[in-house]
Structure 1
Amino acid sequence: MGSVDNSESPKALILGSIHHATDLLQRLKTQYPIQVIVAGTRDQFLSDCKAGRYNNVVAIGRSVDSVVYTGLFDVELVAQLPLSVKFICHNGAGYDQVDVHACKTRGISVSHTPNVVNAATADTTILLMLAALRRMRIPQGAVLDGSWGNAKSGFKLPLGRDPAGLTLGIIGLGGIGAAVARRATAFDMKIQYHNRRPADESILRGVGAEVTYIPTLAELLASSDIVSVHVPLSDATHHLIGAIEFAQMKPGVVFINTARGPVVDEVALVAAVESGQVWSAGLDVFEHEPQVHPGLVTSGHAVLLPHIGTATVDTRWQMEELMLSNVASALNEGVLKTPVSESRQ
């Protein structure tokens, strides 16, 4: 069966390529008019909105990568969307690219893709934690540049640290933080966390081991051998970790961030690494992606990844499937499967 061609039917707009859940997209196209946009500019998109090109679009599905040709879903863009738009379905657990308040003011509900990203992001966190504990970049570099085993190079193998017995402090024990805690228990680590309030019992059950709630961030920082960040980016969490917070950490702490780059003041992080306050850092996200502070690029005490937390075939398939399922639910039932917390009634 071909795609529906009915100008009066509620439409959906998909911003960004669907690489994995193509079968679901094709099924959706048999029920509703679906337009997929994989190129363009913000000016063109705003112009098309003003010209009425997207009238009758009820649901918009968008990927993180689509920001290249629409820009952020900020106040300006949201104000130009057709009045028919009632749902924005974001493909990602973090949704800082979408101004939820502006959407809510327009009567638009927003969904995201939580839970399906937990395992892959937690795996990346553990990968970075172990690599940072071994200062993996230094010995790996010796293999790659030929200095290992070369007496003339002067290379000395750095000694790392074992995770067993260390205290892991998790900032933000949500789905991802709990998945990290569950994995960390296999390394005989002590687990503690800080949230604005104690985590729900359902989250704690997901850890499967004892974790200790620390009521203040300063106390968590001062008592953790490893600090791992797992909070969403918002006005409240921008530069949550800066010079003051690094000074509150144990000397020689290992610092991990797989959340969002701007949660951390990168200049302050570089200073903490250079001073030795941070013994080693493992980072998958950066404040000004894709630019990385030169102090991190040149440091042997920083293990760096290019924001690959969810970059597995399995997880990306699940993310696309959930995003498209939200689009389908919006069109079929007028509700979202996984609305962001600000959109829930």
Structure 2
Amino acid sequence: MSRVVVTGRIPEAALDRLRAEHDVDAWTGTESISREELLARVAGAEAIVSLLTERIDDELLDAAGPQLKVVSNVAVGYDNIDVPACTGRGITATNTPGVLTEATADIAFGLILMATRRLGEGERLIRAGQSWKWGMFFLLGSSLQGKTLGVVGMGGIGQATARRAKAFGMEIVYQSRSEIDPAIAAELGARRVELDELLAVSDVVSLHCPYGPATHHLIGPEELAAMKDTAYLVNTARGPIIDEAALATALRTGVIAGAGLDVFEKEPQVYPELLELENVVLVPHLGSATVETRTAMAVLAAENTLAVLRGEQPPTPIVK
């Protein structure tokens, strides 16, 4: 039996699969494991099942030792993993794409509705016990029908978000490294454009691109200025894709109308000025937060781990 270290709490269904074949050392604390504790625990492990809160780098790989075979991330994003460092040591790195597509697209579209219809503002008003009365101009928002959604990163989650937008009567443009399947483009009526055109024509911009050096602060002062002053920005990808200081300024000065964020530059911290603004919806990284989705993610990570330890190809290796 191989030793498998799980860096955080995951559903029992995944742990049961791992325990059936291997010796599992799973962190059970309610808080994230400390770096010191993590470095000590991974020593001698042949597999690490990691959460996105843990940094998998040379230091950790050195602490684990040369017998380490696989790092299985319980997330679709893998910016917490130094993939080249793993590859250089012959370690397989895996992630969990696909299983969280619909749940994350639901959150993206939920943020779109909350931001454009000012639902957060309305709830805060009622919970604060403020006096209110229905009126023709009370908390007016913006309709989606006939408007344009710009999707940055047209992978599975981007496409699922676009399908929801299409059902609401929106037009779709997208920016992506490559063309999507022509049949899907036809189904969505989606048109591929460059980022500058997408920003200029979209009424809602939704971010679904992976995070890395090329997308760090992809949306900054110039990009925000290129958007319509009636437009909204939504991010369910990774926080550092947006320059939060620039976004706060844009929201405060009316450069754009509003925003919805599920992810942040320095999680769990939120840029202080964003907390003071009414025209931004802020939720704590809930994109995949359903019982069904988190279970499916953890089980897929377990299956990736088991496959590598059996000497088989894992279902979803990270390919760079």
Q: TM-score band (shorter)?
A: over 0.9
Contact 2:47 2:69 in 1 (8 A): yes
Pick aligned residue for 2:47 from 54, 59, 79: 59
Q: Which residue of 2 aligns with 1:111?
A: 94
Q: Which amino acid aligns with 2:207?
A: V
Offset of residue 196 of structure 1: 2.2
Q: Which residue of 2 aligns with 1:46?
A: 39
Q: Tell me, yes or no, if structure 1 residue 30 matches structure 2 residue 8.
A: no
Q: Tell me, yes or no, if structure 1 residue 183 matches structure 2 residue 164.
A: yes
RMSD: 2.2
Q: Which amino acid aligns with 1:265?
A: D
Q: Which residue of 1 aligns with 2:59?
A: 76
Pick aligned residue for 2:279 from 291, 296, 301: 301
User: Which aligned runs of 4 or more in structure 1 are off by greater than 4 angstroms?
Assistant: none
Q: Which residue of 2 aligns with 1:276?
A: 254
Q: Does the residue aligned with 2:85 lie in a helix, a strand or coil?
A: helix
Q: Which residue of 1 aligns with 2:2?
A: 10
Partners of 1:157 and 1:35 lie apart in 2 by 55
Structure 1 residues 266 and 27: alpha-carbon distance in aligned structure 2, compared to 1, 3 A threshold: closer
Q: Which amino acid aligns with 2:27?
A: I
Q: Tell me, yes or no, if structure 1 residue 210 matches structure 2 residue 189.
A: yes
Identity of aligned residues (%): 39
Offset of residue 27 of structure 1: 4.0
Q: Which amino acid aligns with 2:46?
A: V
Offset of residue 97 of structure 1: 0.9
Q: Does the residue aligned with 1:212 lie in a helix, a strand or coil?
A: strand
Structure 1 residues 15 and 47: alpha-carbon distance in aligned structure 2, compared to 1, 3 A threshold: closer
Render the CA deviation track for 1:109-155: whole Å, top value 9, x for unaligned: 1100101111111000110101111122222222112224379xx9x
Structure 1: runs of 5 or more not aligned:
1-8
Contact 1:133 1:162 in 2 (8 A): yes
Structure 1 residues 108 and 301: alpha-carbon distance in aligned structure 2, compared to 1, 3 A threshold: same
Structure 1 residues 207 and 127: alpha-carbon distance in aligned structure 2, compared to 1, 3 A threshold: farther
Normalised TM-score (structure 2): 0.92
Offset of residue 288 of structure 1: 1.6
Offset of residue 16 of structure 1: 1.6
Contact 1:125 1:258 in 2 (8 A): yes
Contact 2:69 2:309 in 1 (8 A): no
Q: Which amino acid aligns with 1:257?
A: N
Partners of 1:255 and 1:160 lie apart in 2 by 15
Contact 2:17 2:302 in 1 (8 A): no
Q: Does the residue aligned with 1:341 lie in a helix, a strand or coil?
A: coil
Offset of residue 311 of structure 1: 0.9
Partners of 1:140 and 1:45 lie apart in 2 by 41
Offset of residue 177 of structure 1: 0.2
Q: Does the residue aligned with 1:119 lie in a helix, a strand or coil?
A: helix
Partners of 2:252 and 2:82 lie apart in 1 by 36
Offset of residue 207 of structure 1: 8.4
Q: Tell me, yes or no, if structure 1 residue 100 matches structure 2 residue 88.
A: no
Q: Which amino acid aligns with 1:64?
A: L
Contact 2:111 2:281 in 1 (8 A): yes
Q: Which residue of 2 aligns with 1:257?
A: 235
Report the count of equivalent residues. Answer: 317
Q: Does the residue aligned with 1:199 lie in a helix, a strand or coil?
A: coil
Structure 1 residues 275 and 206: alpha-carbon distance in aligned structure 2, compared to 1, 3 A threshold: same
Q: Which amino acid aligns with 2:184?
A: R
Q: Tell me, yes or no, if structure 1 residue 288 matches structure 2 residue 269.
A: no
Offset of residue 249 of structure 1: 1.1
Structure 1 residues 171 and 27: alpha-carbon distance in aligned structure 2, compared to 1, 3 A threshold: closer
Partners of 2:72 and 2:41 lie apart in 1 by 20
Offset of residue 305 of structure 1: 0.6
Q: Does the residue aligned with 2:214 lie in a helix, a strand or coil?
A: coil
Render the CA deviation track for 1:137-176: whole Å, top value 9, x for unaligned: 222222112224379xx9x722111100000000000010
Q: Does the residue aligned with 2:49 lie in a helix, a strand or coil?
A: strand
Q: Does the residue aligned with 1:236 lie in a helix, a strand or coil?
A: helix
Offset of residue 41 of structure 1: 3.2
Render the CA deviation track for 1:208-255: whole Å, top value 9, x for unaligned: 4211111x2111111111111111111111101100111111222111
Partners of 1:150 and 1:10 lie apart in 2 by 65
Contact 1:255 1:281 in 2 (8 A): yes
Q: Which amino acid aligns with 2:50?
A: R
Structure 1 residues 162 and 16: alpha-carbon distance in aligned structure 2, compared to 1, 3 A threshold: same
Q: Which of 1 and 2 has greater Rg? A: 1
Q: Does the residue aligned with 1:158 lie in a helix, a strand or coil?
A: coil
